Structure 1
């Protein structure tokens, strides 16, 4: 017999204790190379060049909803090695991850999508870039780590400053009814 303070008698008073899925959860479901392009336009001559290449590395983050709980986060990286003799190589990568999020506020989902998910995906994308450059016949390109959380915070601050400037500009604009 259950006593009055027995946990089993109070199962219906707390839905979370009864197995309800109410806790926030987020994580990477899978990751994959969506697109990879490697160009070695001046091979084999480029293997004889002695000048240090000038590197141009660009990256971008994109996301799209797959369904209510899953989004695809895409980390795009482009690396071009240029020397006085010409372009040694170009590598372009679209590395994606399927990210699942449930029971999270919208602002936390946005932060996970554009800061945390890219941070998780980046080491794998970095390896793909390094392998692609090495397979093209050059020393592997080891990209420096990127502070995605810091970039995300800076982007939010910049957007807030732009929004405030636009709101201030609109408030100061004449309405035409002053006369």
Structure 2
């Protein structure tokens, strides 16, 4: 039990103007995650299990986002994996893996970065497991996707967009 006079005071410190318990600090986090859509095709089974040729893999990624309300955004990883050989398609796996992200008290550029870089980084290991399990359940060795540097890709795409905008914007005074 606290002794008399042993009381915390000035909890706000230099931030006393914010008030005790004020909800004005930036916060972002993943609230839930889920398989939105999963399709597994094994069109040549059981013949494909006898093929000796190593399949060629084509893996495609896409990140989408949809604002649910002021504080909630759905982030969706879409992953398609095709395995083909000279004899045909061994398997096709298409996954749409979603996450509900909450963001509050953040500037728009931080929300954008969290939506397209950090949230996919958090979701990817779970989507990767779903893909591996789906391929294994189709009768093949699990497909273990390599880790992806979502932050690096995000920065690269921002730089490309800025370069494109700079190339299409006439210099000042030439309009």
| TM-score with structure 2 setting the length | 0.90
Q: 4+ residue stretches of structure 1 with deviation over 4 A?
A: 169-172
Q: Which blocks of at least 5 consecutive residues in structure 1 are unaligned?
A: none
Q: Give the SS at the match of 2:163.
A: helix
The whole-number CA distance in structure 2 between the counterparts of 1:15 and 1:136 is 60
Counterpart for residue 26 of structure 1:
28
Q: What is the distance in 2 between the residues matched to 1:21 and 1:67? A: 18
Structure whose alpha-carbon radius of gyration is higher:
1
In structure 2, the CA distance between the partners of 1:165 and 1:137, relative to structure 1 (3 Å rule), is same
| Aligned counterparts of 1:55 and 1:169: Cα–Cα separation in 2 | 45
SS for the counterpart of 1:7 is coil
In structure 2, relative to structure 1, the CA distance for the partners of 1:169 and 1:139 (3 Å cut) is farther
Indicate the residue corresponding to 2:114 in structure 1: 112
**Matches of residues 71-110 of structure 1 in structure 2 within 5 Å?**
71-110=73-112
- Equivalent residue of 1:68, what SS? coil
**2: distance between equivalents of 1:171 and 1:161?**
20
The separation in 1 between residues aligned to 2:88 and 2:66, in whole angstroms, is 37
The normalised TM-score by structure 1 is: 0.88
How far did residue 170 of structure 1 move? 9.7
RMSD between aligned residues = 2.4
| Structure 2 CA distance for partners of 1:128 and 1:68, relative to 1, 3 Å | same
Question: What's the counterpart of residue 54 of structure 1?
Answer: 56
> Paired residues, what number?
169
